[in-house]
C-alpha cells in the first residue's frame, strides 16, 4: 500500500566536511523538526547535506534559532513533492550482506544468494535498516554470542524496524519479544515481521522501556538488545539489571565511543559489567553481563 501524506522538509547545505561531533550536534538540534533525518556527503566529499522530513511545517524562526549556535548556516523549508516518497527512497538502497543475512528492500525480494537468510526491511518512519554502524554492530555482537551461547528468552528494547529481533530469532531459533515506545515503529516492525514470515515468532508490543505488562511479566531475559541512545540506556540501567538473567548478556548501542564511560558507569552501579565491546568508526557496542560475585573469605 502506498504511503501518501503531506510532508515538509528542512534542508541544510554547507560547503565543507564537518567534524563528526559538530555534525551530530547539528543533527540533534534539527531532529525535533521532523520524524526522519538523512545526512550525507555532497560534491565528492567537499560538502554536506542534512534533510529532516516531517508531517508538520516547522516555524522558520524556530529553525533559525536551532541553527544559531552553529554559525552562518541557512535552511530551506518547503513541502515534499506529493508522491510515494518512502518507496522512492527505498529504491536507492542496495542490498546488504551481514554475516548470514541478506538485508534488502521490497525491490530486491527473491534475490538473496543461495544459503543466505533474507531479511526484507521497510524502514518507513522507524530506525534500523542495518546500514548504520549501531545496527550493524549489534548484529555482529549477536553473531559472536551465537557461537557460544544458548538463548531461550530474548528481548529487544527500542526495536525500530524489528531488524535485531528478526536476526535474534533466526540465530537462536526461539520466540522473541520486542518493544518500542513509538507507535509508528511498532506498526512498521509488525508489518516487517509479517513480510518475513515471523509474525508468530516475534511479538512486538508498544512499551516505554520495560513498562509494558508483557515485558514486565516475561522476564528474566537471557539476552537483551537495546539499540537506542546513550541517555535512555543510562536511565534504563536499573530496569535492565532487574530483567537480565543470571548468565544473560545485554547488547547496548546507539552510543558514541566518547559516551562509553558514562553508560558503563551507570550499569556498573547496578551490578553489571563489560563482557566485550565492538567499535565501528565513532560508534560503540557494549555487551554486558552480571558482575561475578566475589568469593567469601
Mean of pLDDT over the chain: 87
Q: For the residues 143-170, what does the mean pLDDT come to?
A: 95
Which among 282, 277, 286, 284 is positioned nearest to 27, based on CA atoms? 282
pLDDT one-digit tens code per residue, 245-268: 999 999 999 888 899 999 999 999
Q: Which residue has the cell 542490498?
A: 95
Instruction: Report whether pLDDT(65) > 60.
Output: yes
Instruction: Report whether pLDDT(20) > 90.
Output: no
Q: Is 292 exposed, middle or buried (0-12, 13-18, 19+ CB in 10 A)?
A: exposed
The percentage of the chain sitting over the pLDDT mark of 70, rounded to a whole number, equals 89
Give me the pLDDT at residue 95, please.
Answer: 77
pLDDT one-digit tens code per residue, 162-186: 999 999 999 999 999 999 998 888 9
Residues whose CB is less than 8 angstroms from the CB of residue 101 and which lie 6 or more positions away in sequence, other chains included: 116, 117, 118, 119, 130, 139, 167, 170
Lookup: cell for 45: 566529499
Give me the pLDDT at residue 126, please.
Answer: 45
Lowest mean pLDDT among 108-122, 123-137, 178-192, 233-247: 123-137
The percentage of the chain sitting over the pLDDT mark of 90, rounded to a whole number, equals 55
Sign of the C-alpha dihedral, residues 232, 233, 234, 240? Answer: positive
- Tell me the pLDDT band of 110, cut-offs 50, 70 and 90: confident
Q: For the residues 101-111, what does the mean pLDDT come to?
A: 81
Instruction: Report whether pLDDT(75) > 50.
Output: yes
Instruction: Report whether pLDDT(140) > 90.
Output: yes
User: Using omega within 30 degrees of 0 as the cis cutoff, is the peptide bond preceding 220 cis?
Assistant: yes
Angstrom distance (rounded) from CA 122 to CA 151? 27
pLDDT one-digit tens code per residue, 194-212: 999 999 999 999 999 999 9
The dihedrals phi and psi of 274, each to the nearest 5 degrees, come to -75, 130
Q: For the residues 79-96, what does the mean pLDDT come to?
A: 60
Q: Which spans in the chain are helix H?
A: 20-30, 60-67, 85-91, 133-146, 163-172, 183-195, 213-216, 230-235, 237-243, 260-268
Angstrom distance (rounded) from CA 166 to CA 158? 13
**Residue 122 Cα to chain centre, angstroms:** 13
Answer with the residue of higher pLDDT: 273 or 6. Answer: 273
- Tell me the pLDDT band of 129, cut-offs 50, 70 and 90: low
Give me the pLDDT at residue 185, please.
Answer: 87
Instruction: Report whether pLDDT(154) > 90.
Output: yes
- Tell me the pLDDT band of 270, cut-offs 50, 70 and 90: very high
Angstrom distance (rounded) from CA 160 to CA 178? 9
- Tell me the pLDDT band of 67, cut-offs 50, 70 and 90: very high
Cα separations in angstroms, 144 against 1, 72, 228, 257: 37, 46, 20, 20
Q: For the residues 39-58, what does the mean pLDDT come to?
A: 85
Amino acid at each position: 500500500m502506498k504511503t501518501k501524506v503531506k510532508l515538509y522538509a528542512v534542508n541544510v547545505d554547507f560547503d565543507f566536511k564537518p567534524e563528526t561531533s559538530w555534525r551530530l550536534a547539528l543533527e540533534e538540534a534539527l531532529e525535533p523538526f521532523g520524524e526522519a533525518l538523512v545526512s550525507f556527503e555532497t560534491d565528492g566529499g567537499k560538502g554536506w547535506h542534512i534533510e529532516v522530513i516531517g508531517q508538520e511545517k516547522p516555524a522558520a524562526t524556530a529553525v533559525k534559532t536551532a541553527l544559531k549556535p552553529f554559525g552562518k548556516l541557512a535552511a530551506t523549508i518547503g513541502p515534499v513533492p506529493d508522491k510515494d516518497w518512502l518507496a522512492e527512497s527505498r529504491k536507492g538502497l542496495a542490498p546488504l550482506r551481514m554475516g548470514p543475512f541478506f538485508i534488502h528492500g521490497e525491490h530486491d525480494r527473491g534475490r538473496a544468494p543461495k544459503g543466505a537468510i533474507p531479511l526484507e526491511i521497510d524502514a518507513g518512519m522507524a530506525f534500523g535498516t542495518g546500514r548504520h554502524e549501531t545496527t550493524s554492530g549489534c548484529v555482529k555482537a549477536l553473531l559472536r554470542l551465537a557461537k557460544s551461547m544458548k538463548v531461550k528468552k530474548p528481548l529487544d528494547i527500542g526495536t525500530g524496524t524489528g531488524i535485531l529481533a528478526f536476526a535474534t530469532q533466526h540465530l537462536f531459533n526461539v520466540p522473541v519479544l520486542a518493544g518500542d515506545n513509538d507507535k509508528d515503529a511498532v506498526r512498521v516492525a509488525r508489518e516487517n515481521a509479517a513480510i518475513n514470515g515471523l509474525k508468530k515468532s516475534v511479538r512486538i508490543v508498544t512499551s516505554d522501556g520495560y513498562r509494558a505488562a508483557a515485558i514486565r511479566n516475561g522476564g528474566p531475559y537471557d539476552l537483551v538488545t537495546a539499540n537506542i541512545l546513550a541517555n535512555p540506556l543510562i536511565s534504563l540501567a536499573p530496569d535492565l539489571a532487574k530483567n537480565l538473567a543470571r548468565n544473560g548478556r545485554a547488547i547496548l548501542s546507539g552510543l558514541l565511543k566518547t559516551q562509553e564511560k558514562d553508560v558503563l558507569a551507570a550499569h556498573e552501579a547496578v551490578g553489571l559489567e563489560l563482557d566485550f565491546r565492538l567499535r565501528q568508526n565513532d560508534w560503540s557496542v557494549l555487551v554486558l553481563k552480571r558482575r561475578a560475585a566475589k568469593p567469601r573469605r
